[in-house]
Amino acid sequence: MDFSGKQVVVTGGTGALGTSVVSALIGAGATCTVAYVHDSEAERFPYRGQPQATLIKVSDLSDEADVAKVYAGVKSLWASIHIAGGFAAAKITGIDKAALMAQIDSNLTSCFLCCRAAVKAMAPAGGRIVNVAARPALEPRSGAGMTAYTVAKAGVAALTMALAEEVAKGGILVNAVAPSIMDTVANRKAMPKADHAAWPKVEEVAATIIFLASPDNRVTRGAIVPVYGKS
């Protein structure tokens, strides 16, 4: 897939999945604007200081000013990939309104605001938007014990489908991936007894994202693509 000369925004681009996505994009010729929150991730980001990737520090992507800062310097935006989000597992009796709103803001509100900014930046030329939902968004019963996260990611899925219909005639194709637990260092540490071999690798999830964001994707819109591996 050829991204030569194309500008791509990636939120959460310094994390495990984000780094894999940015790596594939740069390898295909893209120039990336990478929004990040955690300094420690940015410091070990392999493309730090290289012209193909511009790092932009943000505090909160549910804040309109921070989102505007990410997109302000991007000209002729082709694709916007929204990986940034948050996870919290807790039974509903252990969650207050603040915790619920934190999950909604970090996952849904941030995605909504980035989608809005991307649509404005892409019009009228068109482009691609890829969001990141999660398996519980497609299978809500699997979200027991993480209800706030499940509600937020289900919102991302609904946003993706509704927006895909809204902007299709403008040449903007909107899709999402829905990963199961991915094979990362952090997840292995958190679940040392799990069957890690069954988890999808970040490179595999990234490959699906790259296709959906690419010019090769000419017809797929409104899809929430399961990327579960063998899990």
Q: Which of 78-87, 191-200, 210-219 has the lowest mean pLDDT?
A: 191-200
Specify the pTM.
0.96
Structure-derived torsion over alpha carbons of residues 189, 193, 198, 201, reported in degrees to the nearest 10: 10
Q: Are 62 and 106 in contact (CB under 8 A)?
A: yes
Tell me what the pLDDT averaged over the chain comes to: 96
Q: Which of 115, 98, 19, 17 is nearest to 61 (CA)?
A: 115
Helix extents (H) in 2-91: 16-27, 39-43, 64-72
Q: Which two tokens stand for residue 209?
A: 């994202």
The pLDDT assigned to 130 comes to 98
The SS3 call for residue 174 is strand
pLDDT greater than 90 at residue 91:
yes
The pLDDT assigned to 73 comes to 86
Q: Are 130 and 81 in contact (CB under 8 A)?
A: yes
pLDDT greater than 90 at residue 115:
yes
Query: pLDDT > 70: what percent of the chain?
Result: 100
pLDDT greater than 90 at residue 63:
yes
The pLDDT assigned to 16 comes to 95
CA distance 193 to 4: 42
Q: Which of 163, 165, 182, 171 is nearest to 79 (CA)?
A: 171
pLDDT greater than 90 at residue 231:
no
Radius of gyration of the chain (CA): 17
Task: For residue range 39-56, list pLDDT tens digits in order.
Answer: 999 999 999 999 999 999
The pLDDT assigned to 134 comes to 98
User: CB-based contacts of 80: which residues, under 8 Å, 6+ apart?
Assistant: 8, 9, 114, 115, 117, 118, 121, 122, 127, 128, 129, 130
CATH number of the 7-227 domain: 3.40.50.720
Query: pLDDT > 90: what percent of the chain?
Result: 95
Q: What are phi and psi of 173, to 5 degrees?
A: -100, 125
| Distances, alpha carbon 68 to alpha carbons 3, 53, 96, 116, 189, in Å | 24, 18, 30, 10, 35
